[in-house]
């Protein structure tokens, strides 16, 4: 397994499969994808892209920080879940945020994934909330 930086558009098929099923591929473009401080990670098993994560320099109103980054669009192919792909992506994202002098990594995690993030040292802030059309989420964060 290897983790590489990839172009934002390369994340779209896996975003669609895991995060936006039934929506057009273009619905998988996120705000901030193309900004200079954004980067996208791809986890590769042989020649197959099996996991993705996007990281954006983005503040969070509830979590004051000097240089915050947001983890967004985490997805692992259903055939590869439970094999450590997601953890490798998060560790690489944390390392990259630290290298960029970031002091916070935050995300809106689906409640079904909250345990995954908690095991990686993230803390929940507040109560669960609903993202329209997507489902219940928790605001989570940790220092890189």
Supply the CATH number for residue 55's domain. 3.40.630.30
- pTM of the predicted model, to two decimals? 0.94
Q: Total structural domains in the chain?
A: 1
**pLDDT 10s digits, 5-56:** 999 999 999 999 999 999 999 999 999 999 999 999 999 998 999 999 999 9
3-state secondary structure the chain: CEEEEECHHHHHHHHHHHHCCCCCHHHHCCCCCCCCCCEEEEEEECCEEEEEEEEEECCECCECCCCEEEEEEEEECHHHCCCCHHHHHHHHHHHHHHHCCCCEEEEEEEHHHHHHHHHCCCEEEEEEEEECCCEEEEEEEECC
109-124 pLDDT tens trace: 999 999 999 999 999 9
Note down the domain range covering 18. Answer: 2-142
């Amino acid at each position: 397994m290897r983790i590489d930086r990839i172009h934002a558009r390369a994340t779209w098929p896996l975003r669609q499969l895991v995060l936006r099923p039934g929506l057009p591929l273009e619905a998988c473009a996120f705000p901030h994808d193309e900004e200079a401080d954004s980067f996208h990670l791809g986890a590769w098993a042989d020649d197959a892209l099996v996991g993705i994560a996007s990281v954006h320099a983005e503040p969070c109103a509830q979590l004051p920080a000097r240089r915050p980054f947001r983890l967004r669009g985490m997805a692992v192919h259903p055939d590869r879940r439970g094999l450590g792909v997601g953890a490798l992506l998060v560790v690489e994202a944390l390392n990259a945020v630290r290298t960029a002098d970031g002091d916070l990594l935050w995300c809106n995690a689906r409640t079904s994934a909250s345990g995954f993030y908690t095991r990686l040292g993230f803390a929940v802030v507040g109560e669960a909330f609903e993202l329209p059309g997507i489902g219940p989420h928790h605001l989570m964060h940790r220092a890189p």
